Amino acid sequence: MKQIKILCPAKINLTLKITGKRTDGFHDIDSIMQTINLFDYLTISVEKSDISKINLTGTSDEIPYDEKNIVYKAASIFMETLKVSPYKINVFIEKNIPVSAGLAGGSSNAAGMLYGLNKLFDEPLNRVGLHGLCAGLGSDLNFCLEGGRQKTSGRGEILEYLPFKEFDVSLIKPKSLGISAKEAYTKFSEKNKNSGGRDFYSNDLEWAVIDDYKELQKIKELYPNAVMSGSGSTYFGIDMEFEPLEGYWIKNGLKSISCGVKEV
């Protein structure tokens, strides 16, 4: 049996502008993404077996541990691509990144899964090959694979390195509120037909959803300079700290980092 442990960083969207609707149903974006030192961890083991099998376990009761999990999908597509003999794959997911929070926890885990399996199988895929699998699974995986500070475009899979800048980051999220990317983008499309005011927001998806949630309005009222990350519902503040607030998860003292997924 071979085993590896992979560190999977969260990301924040320093900016997020939606530039158009694509023929494939997705939206084109123009975003500056940044990884931060809030990590999930994957412990992955592989061993030869009579039949191929993927077993997921973990610390969170908010995610599925079956084929619905994007980590499972990443393992499946990797093995299908390689067409190797049957293997049993065990994955333990230590979740520290909130779920449905706009912090790319799932995407980072899936990118980490692809990266880790590639290491365990002695790197049959080069970086281009890994990026191809990432692009097929989701919009943020390519960035999560590389990390640091990057301008992303297309669905998020087109990357352009930007000079790294170190800064302090704090996060605040309503404990009982998660917003899916599908919900946020749908609300953007609906609101964009009738309303102005987008230019006042660094994140177009914040503009799209904030009127529907008093929990987000509360954050903006207390911290006008805070910005929502991705599709929410997490807000971040740069070089600032959030005070304890009942009903909200808060994480102060984080920092920007220059890496994406990597072996521990």
Structure token pair of residue 44 = 């992955």
- In terms of DSSP H, where are the helices of the chain? 70-82, 105-120, 127-137, 141-146, 181-192, 204-209, 214-222
End-to-end CA distance of the chain: 18
Domains plus CATH for the chain? 2-162 (3.30.230.10), 168-255 (3.30.70.890)
Residue with tokens 């037909």: 193
Catalytic residue, candidates 40, 140, 173, 251? 140
**12 closest CA partner among 263, 252, 228:** 228
pLDDT value at position 27?
A: 86
pLDDT value at position 199?
A: 81
What string of pLDDT tens digits covers the 264 residues of the chain? 999 999 999 999 999 999 988 877 778 999 999 999 999 999 999 999 999 999 999 999 999 999 999 999 999 999 999 988 899 999 999 999 999 999 999 999 999 999 999 999 999 999 999 999 999 999 899 999 999 999 999 989 999 999 999 999 999 999 999 999 899 999 998 888 777 778 889 999 999 999 999 999 999 999 999 999 999 999 999 999 999 999 999 999 999 999 999 999
CA–CA gap between residue 116 and residue 130 (Å, rounded): 11
pLDDT value at position 22?
A: 81
pLDDT value at position 30?
A: 96
Give the β-pairing of 87-94 and 27-48.
antiparallel
CA–CA gap between residue 156 and residue 50 (Å, rounded): 38
Is 11 known to be catalytic? yes
pLDDT value at position 84?
A: 80
Is 66 known to be catalytic? no
pLDDT value at position 15?
A: 97
Give the three-class secondary structure for 200: helix
